[in-house]
Amino acid sequence: MISVAGQFAAAEAWEALKAGLHVLLFSDNVPLADEVALKKYASERGLLLMGPGCGTAIINGVALGFANAVPRGPVGIVAAAGTGLQEVSSLLAKLGVGISQAIGAGGRDLKEEVGGITMLQGLRALQADPATEVLLLVSKLPAPAIAGRVLEQVRASTKPTVVCFLGAAIPPASGATVPARTLQEAAYHAAARAGYAFHSSVARIIENETIDLRGRAAVLRRHLAPQQKYLRGLFSGGTLATEALWIWKDLLGDVLSNVPLDARFRLRDLARSEGNCALDLGEEEFTVGRPHPMIDYDLRVRRLLQEAADPEVAVIVLDVVLGYGAHPDPARELAPAIVQTRGLAGRRERGLLFVASVTGTDQDPQGLARQVKALQDAGVAVCSCNAAAARLAGMIVAPLTA
């Protein structure tokens, strides 16, 4: 595992590969050309180069990077998305479904230039692994040609494979392929294929949850003043931010961001939010020279206070990601700032709503239940997963911005 400044990371990775070692390259800010060269060298020698920017993997039951404490089991994951891997593995764990292996590919693996080298390696390995009965693939929007190459490899096996490429048009379920639009759907479909008995279909479960969220949104909306109409998302997980943006696209239209779904909606000034806006604070423009926001909450707390001061803001959306290597007690950092800002808003005769999801398990060092309770005690509406939190926040502001 390599975690050094980006300008030194490639040299360290070359040394490890030439010694015959698999590599988890945690470092980001590594040039794309170096990534391609490293991955080609590794694959030609039967080695895995996970990364750069690979924050999470679970290999033979050992959590690497920001991974969560989850049980062993029949689902194998390959993800070009660190917090996406954490979200689906944690949701599976909550259902009592475990992981055989979870391979991180790095967030750029499915770009045209890289070619999906590590995802295809991981997919083939898990297709041949007798301990893996169900596969789950996760990525942000891939290059179409690379997505096609991965789906072709999926069809080469009879093992059921849930494919969640956020924003990609995956063909309807056929043969081994099971498409999923969100990380929540992906985890539920994988659990069902692994033998977990839901009381109804995955679609019906999410439909019923959506009905409940709509009612919850109507109640929360009553606390807002007339001028409050926008949401602001402050994310530490890039995949979680992207999942929320796709959900909000359906509910609100395009949302401004530093990681927009469409380049036309890139935030002009990262220091100042506008309208409905979501920031991935784990992107390279925020992490150069500072710890990742899953480790250090200082930047997020300061940005939270800034967003809360905007009288047009109705909802602030947070992802709280637990696991090894992450902040030992995120709620201890967030709760005082949330209580402070809600009090200030109240004195100015406006409400201020906070919606959050917590990615993790009760076996994580931070303790899922303890974190959820602390946030709820601070007045946060905590949802079962990131997708549910995004839906709730979007439902709150959708009627206000129509």
Per-residue pLDDT, 28:
83
Q: Are residues 246 and 188 in the same domain?
A: no
Per-residue pLDDT, 87:
98
Per-residue pLDDT, 351:
92
Query: What is the band of 342 on the pLDDT scale with cuts at 50, 70, 90?
Result: very high
Minimal CA–CA distance to 139: which of 165, 113, 121?
165
- Contact (Cβ atoms closer than 8 angstroms) between residue 64 and residue 85: no
Number of domains making up the chain: 2
Q: Of 135, 163, 193, which marks where a domain is finished?
A: 193
Instruction: List CB contacts of 384: < 8 A, sequence separation 6 or more.
Output: 209, 357
The amino acid occupying position 149 is R
Q: Are residues 242 and 346 in the same domain?
A: yes
Q: Are residues 37 and 180 in the same domain?
A: yes
What average pLDDT does the segment 146-169 reach? 95
The mean pLDDT value of the chain amounts to: 95
The CA distance from 32 to 56, in Å, is 20
Tell me: pLDDT of 346 over 90.
Answer: no
Q: What is the CATH number of the domain that holds 74?
A: 3.40.50.261
The answer to whether residue 143 is domain-embedded is yes
Q: Which residues share a beta bridge with 354?
A: 316
Q: Are residues 159 and 216 in the same domain?
A: no
Per-residue pLDDT, 402:
60
6 vs 401: which has the higher pLDDT: 6
What average pLDDT does the segment 51-64 reach? 94
Q: Are residues 395 and 336 in the same domain?
A: yes
What average pLDDT does the segment 17-23 reach? 96
The answer to whether residue 148 is domain-embedded is yes
What average pLDDT does the segment 232-241 reach? 96
Structure tokens at 174: 């056929």
Per-residue pLDDT, 280:
96
Per-residue pLDDT, 400:
80
- Cα 17 vs. chain centroid, distance in angstroms? 28
What average pLDDT does the segment 66-93 reach? 97
Strands 161-165 and 313-321: unpaired
**pTM, entire model:** 0.96
Tell me: pLDDT of 289 over 80.
Answer: no
Question: Roughly what angle, to the nearest 10 degrees, separates helices 117-127 and 144-154?
Answer: 10
Per-residue pLDDT, 296:
93
Per-residue pLDDT, 273:
96
What average pLDDT does the segment 281-290 reach? 83
Instruction: List CB contacts of 316: < 8 A, sequence separation 6 or more.
Output: 231, 232, 233, 234, 304, 307, 308, 352, 353, 354, 355
Q: Of 193, 220, 237, which marks where a domain is finished?
A: 193
Per-residue pLDDT, 118:
98
Q: Which residues share a beta bridge with 234?
A: 279, 318
Q: Are residues 222 and 120 in the same domain?
A: no
Taking only the tens place, the pLDDT of each residue in 163-190 is 999 999 888 877 889 999 999 999 999 9
Tell me: pLDDT of 236 over 80.
Answer: yes
What average pLDDT does the segment 103-124 reach? 97
The answer to whether residue 1 is domain-embedded is no
What average pLDDT does the segment 336-353 reach? 92
Residue 235 belongs to what domain range? 209-401
What average pLDDT does the segment 78-92 reach? 97
Per-residue pLDDT, 369:
97
Q: What is the chain's alpha carbon radius of gyration, rounded to the nearest angstrom?
A: 20
Q: Are residues 276 and 318 in the same domain?
A: yes
What average pLDDT does the segment 344-357 reach? 92
The answer to whether residue 97 is domain-embedded is yes
Q: What is the H or E stretch that residue 94 is in?
A: helix 82-94
What average pLDDT does the segment 196-223 reach? 95
Instruction: List CB contacts of 25: < 8 A, sequence separation 6 or more.
Output: 2, 9, 13, 38, 49, 50, 51, 52, 53, 54, 106
Tell me: pLDDT of 5 over 90.
Answer: no
Question: How many helices (H) and strands (E) in the chain?
Answer: 13, 15
Q: Are residues 170 and 237 in the same domain?
A: no
